[in-house]
Homo-oligomer: A and B are copies of this chain.
Amino acid sequence: MRKRFTLQEYKEGVLSGDRTKLSQSITLAESALESDLGLASDLVQEVLPFTGNSIRIGITGVPGVGKSTFIEAFGQLLVEHGKSVAVLAVDPSSQKSKGSILGDKTRMEKLSSDKRAFIRPSPTGATLGGVSSKTREAMLLCEAAGFDVILIETVGVGQSETAVKGMVDFFLLLMLAGAGDELQGIKKGIMEMADCVVIHKADGENQSNAKRAKSAYKNALHLFPLGQNNWSTPVMTASSLTGEGLSDIWEMIQIYNLQMQSSGFWESNRAEQRLNWLDENLHFLLGKFFLEHQQVQELLSKNRKRVENGERSPLSLARDLISAFFNPKKNDK
C-alpha cells in the first residue's frame, strides 16, 4: 500500500506548490478507498479558500486533430507569457487507444520538462462519473498550488465533453480543415458548446483550406443563437508547428475573461457549476448506495431488460425499486 500523509502534510505541500505532494494529493483524490476519499474531501475543503484564481480552459477535438501538440505549443506560449500551467485529462482509460496522449508524458516533452508546467496523465480505470468529479478536485488542487491556467483535455467523441464544459470557464474546440474532415467523428452538440472553434494544423499546403473552413464556420455560427454569456463564438486558425495563431487565441481568451468578469457571467457561471457539482455528487453517491442494495439489484437485474424492451413501464419499476429500497421487508416480488 502506498504511503499516506496527514491532512496537514498534504495541505502544506499543495499550498507551497510542491509538485510531488500535489501529485500525491491528486492520486489520493482518485483513490477508490473510502478512507482516502474522506481525506481527499477534507483536503479539498481545506484548500478551497486558495482556489478559484486560475483560468480554466477545456480543450476538445477528435483523435487526430492534434490536441497534444496544441497543448504542448499553447502551454509553452503561456509559460513564455509568465503563466504557470497545469494540464489535466478527462479520458476514461478505455478510450486511450483512440488517441489520448496524456498518459504518455513524453509526447509533451518540452512542456513537461518546464518548471512552470505540471502535466497530469489520465487516471486509469476510472468511470466517467468518477473521473469528472475527480478532475474537478484535481483542478482545485492545482489552483491551490498556484497555477494560473488549467488546461483540461477531453476527447470529443464521448460523453466527457459535457462534464468538462461543466467545470471550465472557457471551452475550446479544435477542428481540422479539408473536404469533409471538419466533421470526422465529432459528436453532435459539441459545436454549440464551444466558446471558440480553432481550425488546427493551419500550416503549409493546408493554410488555404483552413482559411476557407474558418470563413464557412464563421458564417454558420453566425446563424446560431448566443448562449447566456452573450458571447459570439469566434473561429480562428492556428498551427502548433509554426506557432501561428496561438497568441491570438490567448489574447481572445483574455478578452473573454475581461468581458465575462465585467458582465458578471464569470462568477455566476462558476456559482452554477458549483451547485451542479453538488447535485452530481449527490446523485452519484445516492445512486451508489441505491445500486448496492441487494433487493434493488435483484429487482433491477430481473426487470431492466424488460424496461428496455418496452414490456415494463419505467415509472412502475422505479416505484417498486424505491419501495424495495426504503421498505425492504414489504417487497419481495
Contact = CB atoms under 8 A, between A and B. Distances in A.
Contacts of A42: 316
A286 B290 contact: yes
A49 to B, nearest CB: 8
Contacts of A310: 48, 51-52, 270-271, 274
Given A217-B223, A226-B183, A310-B270, A318 B192 contact: no
B278 A318 contact: yes
Interface in A224-275: 224-228, 270-271, 274-275
A319 B285 contact: yes
A44 B318 CA distance: 13
A309 to B, nearest CB: 7
A208 to B, nearest CB: 17
A193 interface: yes
A274 B307 contact: yes
A281 B51 CA distance: 36
A175 to B, nearest CB: 10
Contacts of A219: 216, 219-220
A78 interface: no
Interface centre among A312, A318, A322, by most B CB within 10 Å? A318
Contact of A220 (B220, B287, B325): B220
Contact of A183 (B38, B224, B326): B224
A185 B225 CA distance: 8
A282 interface: yes
B282 A183 contact: no
Contacts of A32: none
A90 to B, nearest CB: 16
A189 B192 CA distance: 5
A321 interface: yes
A182 B55 CA distance: 33
B290 A282 contact: yes
B188 A225 contact: yes
A113 to B, nearest CB: 33
Top 5 closest pairs, chain A to chain B, by CB: A281-B318, A220-B220, A278-B314, A277-B314, A188-B227
Given A51-B310, A183-B226, 5 more contacts: A48-B312, A137-B315, A219-B220, A220-B224, A282-B290
Interface of A: 37-38, 41-42, 44-45, 48-49, 51-52, 133, 136-137, 140, 182-183, 185-193, 216-217, 219-221, 223-228, 270-271, 274-275, 277-278, 281-283, 285-287, 289-290, 304, 307-319, 321-322, 325-326
30 contacts: A41-B319, A48-B311, A49-B311, A137-B315, A140-B313, A183-B225, A187-B225, A188-B192, A188-B225, A188-B228, A191-B224, A191-B225, A220-B220, A220-B221, A220-B224, A270-B310, A271-B308, A271-B309, A275-B314, A277-B315, A278-B314, A278-B317, A281-B315, A282-B318, A283-B287, A285-B319, A286-B287, A286-B290, A286-B325, A289-B322
